[in-house]
A = this chain, B = another copy of it.
Amino acid sequence: MPEGNEMKRVRPLYGTYDKPHDVQTCRTRISRRVFLQGAAGGAAALAWPRWASAEARDLEVVRAQIEKRHDEAVQRLQEWVRQPSIAAENKGVTEGCDLTMRLLRDAGFGEVTKVPTDGQPGIFATLDAGAARTVGLYFMYDVKQVDPAEWSSPPWAAALVDKPGLGKVLVGRGAVNQKGPQAAFLAALHAIRGAGQNVPLNLALVAEGEEEIGSPHFPQVVRKPEVQAALGRCSGIFMPSAAQGLDGQVTITLGAKGVVELELVASGERWGRGPRQDIHSSNKARVDSPAWHLVQALATLISPDGNEPAIEGFADKARPLSAAEKAMIAEGARRLDEGLAKKQLGVQRWVRDVSWPEALELLVSRPTVNIEGLVGGYTGPGGKTILPHKAVAKLDLRLVPDMTAAGALAALKAHLAKRGFGDIEVRKSGGYDPTSTSADSALIRAEAAVYRRTGINPILWPRGAGSWPGYVFTDEPLHLPAGHFGLGHGSGAHAPDEYYVVESKNPKVQGMDGAVRSFVEYLYELAVTS
């Protein structure tokens, strides 16, 4: 996962292994609208929806429960953060899984089952509210690694810290990625029950403990027959999120590109040419070079300017942008700040000096072939006169519908073989198919409705350029809408001093109680949206 400087400045949208940056990096212009226009409650309260007028008294009771249970909700989040659960280090995973299962039971899930996989176990949980409708939830219980020396407050202390301009925040690994938003969602269930109400929908929840290492075994969880059956009854599935930027703005992203991560390994041993170990570089005059072989292979994968994928057949199935998607991007281009995006990325110009709207269209629609890393031979300071026996390029390929990870990999292998590079090993290390959800789905319309009532005009975005494993929900056989929802704010996923706002002093941003209210409202909205 990226850990560059840029990473440390952006908030997570997916809280994921391969967090997309497109939208976060392109911060929106700060809205001058009054955030809580027409709010029924205090300055930091959410407006209750018009449809809820008949239930206003009930909802006021839930609101009171949220405020009453604030400390309890914060303590629950602190307990969760204090339990490290790092799949990459196999640290605290069992304890983290068991704690998550208990928190789900406490919040009212009736059936909570550990789902073994070939890796870390998943969780499958259901809450039967006797409602007509069911919605799905996607949780993760693992977190990213930490270097405690880099933290101003210890990563497992879950301390409450005053952050200038923001208010009281909880600092700790997993605070925003993903325990804070998930704890806010669970607090919503506690508040509804505390108010003597029924949850307005049935819930079917899947969780994994390997999100931060690329969800290698998550399909094994989702594809269990009983999980498929439960998800098959859902109208859609969402992951709790802290979706607000510092300006309060929210983007609703209707899917994500797919990705394949892989290594290309050229070696004398596999090639049958060149040396089997590093030899003195003077031998280049008579011995083939696996490093040059790799360079020549790489050069065929991309256009001379390094921008257009040139892998034969790679993007044959890429679906062009629809008129509706183009319209979303055009609207986004008007609302997003090009100068700020360039500044935050540290770039002076886009590929081919395209305009801002074109750059955003490329970001959404172009399949890519990227070099993540090059490593071969001598990599230390200065030089060393060797002819290396091996060289490696680390690539990621980004895919748009209707491309697939398997199809991209097959195209790459066939391309290399056809051009005399069939000896170069293609080692796939991870990958997802693209994922898409319709803006017309109830899941998304309900999101937009809740956001709009708070005075937020969400940016609708056709597709994130990063990747998350939503395809396990949106593709065959489930075809579920899948998304992310939640007010609130946090930052520092994968970075030191990760935080989640507990009590906001920024009028544009919700604290934890506001996040909890947004989940209550979203559940009620989903219950009546069809």
The interface of chain A, by Cβ under 8 A from chain B, is 1-7, 18-22, 25, 257, 259, 261-263, 268, 272-289, 291-296, 298-299, 302, 304-307, 345-351, 354, 359-360, 362-366, 368-379, 382-389, 391, 394, 396, 398, 429-430, 464-467
Q: What residues of B have a CB within 8 angstroms of the CB of A4 in the complex?
A: 277-280, 386
Residue in contact with A285 in the complex, picked from B1, B18, B280, B363, CB distance below 8 Å: B363
Q: How far is the CB of A361 from chain B (nearest CB, A)?
A: 9
A141 to B459, CA, bound (A): 70
The answer on a CB contact under 8 Å between B385 and A261 is yes
Q: What residues of B have a CB within 8 angstroms of the CB of A388 in the complex?
A: 371-373
The answer on a CB contact under 8 Å between A285 and B398 is yes
Q: A346-B389, A385-B1 are in contact. Are A22 and B283 (CB under 8 A)?
A: yes
Can you list 26 contacts pairing A with B, beta carbon distance less than 8 Å? A2-B279, A4-B386, A20-B280, A25-B280, A268-B347, A273-B347, A276-B346, A276-B347, A277-B346, A280-B466, A281-B370, A282-B465, A284-B370, A285-B465, A286-B362, A287-B345, A288-B305, A289-B370, A292-B306, A295-B306, A372-B386, A373-B377, A373-B384, A383-B394, A383-B430, A384-B394
Q: What residues of B have a CB within 8 angstroms of the CB of A354 in the complex?
A: 286
Q: What residues of B have a CB within 8 angstroms of the CB of A359 in the complex?
A: 286
The answer on a CB contact under 8 Å between B351 and A287 is yes
The answer on a CB contact under 8 Å between A274 and B347 is yes
Q: What residues of B have a CB within 8 angstroms of the CB of A348 in the complex?
A: 272-273
Q: What residues of B have a CB within 8 angstroms of the CB of A351 in the complex?
A: 286-288
Q: What residues of B have a CB within 8 angstroms of the CB of A373 in the complex?
A: 376-379, 383-384, 386, 388
Q: How far is the CB of A13 from chain B (nearest CB, A)?
A: 12
Q: A286-B359, A302-B292 are in contact. Are A383 and B372 (CB under 8 A)?
A: yes
Q: A366-B285, A377-B394, A465-B285 are in contact. Are A19 and B280 (CB under 8 A)?
A: yes
Q: What residues of B have a CB within 8 angstroms of the CB of A291 in the complex?
A: 371, 374
The answer on a CB contact under 8 Å between B382 and A378 is no
The answer on a CB contact under 8 Å between A2 and B350 is no
Q: How far is the CB of A145 from chain B (nearest CB, A)?
A: 12
Q: A288-B351, A385-B372, A394-B377 are in contact. Are A466 and B306 (CB under 8 A)?
A: no
The answer on a CB contact under 8 Å between B465 and A283 is yes
- What 3 A-B pairs come out closest when comparing CB atoms? A292-B306, A282-B465, A276-B346
A364 to B369, CA, bound (A): 40
20 more CB-based (< 8 A) A-B contacts, given A18-B385, A282-B465, A295-B371: A2-B385, A2-B386, A5-B277, A18-B282, A275-B346, A277-B346, A280-B466, A281-B368, A282-B368, A282-B464, A285-B364, A286-B362, A289-B370, A292-B302, A296-B299, A298-B299, A371-B377, A371-B388, A372-B384, A375-B376
